[in-house]
Structure 1
């Protein structure tokens, strides 16, 4: 008796996690590729407004699981479905959503449009290289060629961009917040920074500070004594950290400036210190101060690595 085989249903896209951390997305893609097929979707064009920046990723597994965002959540399932089609066909694809897209039923709330490049992963060597550099707190980059359908690791440029027909995505280590102090304010900042996903290091009076700071570090000084902050403040001023903030009133900061000037620090070095610390103030409780400080740190990171 003849039997007709029923077609195999395509996997249904389902979100595996809500993370948008690039390192976690690359790890997801590596694990998915080791189990079978996988794709990496990248936001490569923005038309008008957008919820994410260029270079934002989604990782999609052959079984339909996906993570990451290229928008605010309104197109991600559709991107995952396109990635599953790309994997089934074994070919990369470039897909538009929102303004200028053939998908008239998918509208971005911002009214703009995006283009997403979907790359079917052939190997994960380049992704592993990026993760290795990030683990060593070094910047990294991937260059995607739609024409050759390749993804390779390169030395990172200054920013994510198109160049010579290829798309370069830059990755930087996550923000490290070095909190110096044994005050209630220091405890509040450390708790909130950890909850925000930052790499948090707490120091009492600056011991070992030079070994923990790099260009992706914010140094937060939360002492009630200028002598207690001296070691880590001087180390921060001699380093390429992107943020230095210090607790204290305007009068306290004038004394700080006098001390640093006497030690031979130049005015442009001293001007790197945000004091009084924080984005808004004055604050009268530790929680408000922590919010003010970390908002300032986040804003400074965006300016430093826009």
Structure 2
């Protein structure tokens, strides 16, 4: 591909925020388009190692502001510059960085190479569709059609990938954590989960009935009770739900008692096996903060496995 130098008057790329939340990136792109012009850059090819997954985005405004990441931070300013050129020319472009790239001065620390497709937004209807789906906690797909230089909504695929001549990006709702337990451990998990950008819903004692309505496939159920009786009602609802993670506090001995109770209630072995107990990725822990880190690491790992 032929690359031209930006004119002296071109805006200087400036990072507007450090977010990599797709919802915030798409909102930024929609707002920037409303103010004049915007481009959406998408990671569409990885050669060797890479810091981001296929489908990672950057959004770039006509004034040079940008957000998002397509690497570990080493090429983003260059991508923004290419996006500004694309906007000035009114044409999409695909640019290679690292291995196989014409930019010899840009070397990716991972030693690999990436290709980034830069689309100059003509309208934002497809982006609004994605945001609407995520607002309803539904997965969404967005196809980039290089031949038509267009975006269009599509059914979500299992992962971001090329589908023929088009590249499909997949978006899923943010992780929801349904948290049950009036314990110091529950308070620590709630604090860290909120800081991690999760949608945290604390369930009060007796507030069982509405819980079934809020546990969707992108929900982790975290039970932090010191008595099996206290968790019983919500655990039954969680086992009947599509939640991707169910974890419960307690020792190995406590979990054996939990399993016996569930078997006596005619729960299937496969359902019972969904429960992660003792809860957490590492343990046993002896303080609330360590437990919270262990639980949320486990939730994050389970989400990656469920939606790789």
TM-score relative to the length of structure 2: 0.96
Q: Deviations over 1:30-81 (max 9, x none)?
A: 0000011100000000000000000000000000000000000000000000
For 1:209, which of 192, 208, 211 is the aligned residue?
211
Is it true that 1:263 corresponds to 2:268 in the alignment? Answer: no
Alpha-carbon distance in structure 1 between the residues aligned to 2:228 and 2:169: 42
SS at structure 2 position matched to 1:141: strand
Q: CA RMSD in A?
A: 0.9
Give SS of 1:104's match: coil
Structure 2 partner of 1:12: 12
Q: Deviations over 1:248-271 (max 9, x none)?
A: 001110111011111111001100
Q: Which runs of 4+ in 1 moved over 2 A?
A: 204-208
The one of 268, 292, 295 equivalent to 1:293 is 295
* Residue in 2 that maps onto 1:71: 71
Q: How many angstroms does 1:204 deviate by?
A: 2.7
SS in structure 1 opposite 2:190?
helix
Q: Residue by residue, what CA displacement relative to the aligned partner does 1:89-148 show, whole Å, maximum 9, x if unpaired?
A: 000000000000000000100000000000000000000000000000000010001111
The SS at the match of 2:142 is strand
Structure 1 residues 1-306: aligned runs within 5 Å = 9-205=9-205, 207=208, 208-306=210-308
- How far apart in 2 are the matches of 1:204 and 1:255? 24
Residue 4 (structure 1) aligns with: none
Instruction: Between 79-88 and 204-213, report the one with greater CA deviation.
Output: 204-213
The size of the alignment, in residue pairs, is: 300
Unaligned runs of 5+ in 2: 1-6
Query: 2:267 and 2:106 mapped to 1: Cα distance?
Result: 56
Distance in 2, Cα, partners of 1:248 & 1:226: 9
The 2-side partners of 1:48 and 1:231 are apart by: 48
* Equivalent position SS for 1:290: helix
Higher mean C-alpha displacement, 152-161 vs 121-130: 152-161
- What is the distance in 2 between the residues matched to 1:149 and 1:29? 16
Deviation at 1:157, TM superposition (A): 1.4
Aligned to 2:4: none
Q: Which runs of 5+ in 1 are unaligned?
A: 1-6
CA distance in 2, matches of 1:68, 1:8: 25
Q: Distance in 2 between matches of 1:124 and 1:243?
A: 34
**CA-CA distance at 1:231 after TM superposition:** 1.4
User: CA offsets per residue over residues 151-176 of structure 1, 9 Å max, x none?
Assistant: 00111111111111110000000000
For 1:231 and 1:156, the matched residues in 2 are separated by: 34
